Structure 1
Amino acid sequence: MRRWARSGATRDRGSGSILAVAILGALFAVTAVLVPVLALLPAKQLVQGAADAAALAAADTASGLMPGVPCEMAARAAELNAARMTGCTVRGLIATVSVAGSAGIFPIGSRARAGPAP
């Protein structure tokens, strides 16, 4: 009877090591997926900041606070913030600007609107 108990116990030897390797592998896989995804968050904020600055530049130019053409000023503001302007519309004193940037191979876009307070 003791022989059966011993042989069953010896078959389980080393299973903890296999479990530890499996857990470490799963942890590595999750980390490998999450790191690039989390790297997109600051890049998205940078592109949103560029869109905000471009919209403010266009609205300031449209209202006469700055000389120039509103959409040209918006493109320059986006460029200074490491983004490129993809669209610009000005209706009255309200400017809507779309910009694009990238984080590695992922394209990121954002839109912003600026103008006088309602």
Structure 2
Amino acid sequence: MKKSLSRDNIWIKEPEEHDFPAAQDYLELLFEPELAKKTVDKLKKAPTITKKSKDILRASKLPLLPESNIHVKENLKKVLKNKKLSPILLVRGQNELIIADGYHRLCCSYYLTEDLEVPCRLV
């Protein structure tokens, strides 16, 4: 399967609309609600760029979730069914990258191939 993987057959080009409220809910745990909202507004306007899954994971300092994780597993199944994943929403923190939305999609991507370019929004 790895040979047939490309950014274009795994990822859609733009985040889905429901990704932004999910990111805001998460960011409100880290920031005051107004700052979380402003950050999400910036994510909505940011261009979609690409970064390698292994680099995003390292910068976030989060552990790679196991393939058996229910959400990772669901995303892997989605890719096998030729359904595309939504780009990841990222925020630069003080000393680490914050994955505002898409942690499970990132882990899924890593299991597919850690060198694959992952579409993301970064603010």
Q: Same fold (TM over 0.5)?
A: no
With the length of structure 2 as denominator, give the TM-score of the two structures.
0.24
- Structure scoring higher RCO (CA < 8 A, sep ≥ 6) equals 2
The structure richer in strand per residue is: 1
The structure richer in helix per residue is: 1
With the length of structure 1 as denominator, give the TM-score of the two structures.
0.25
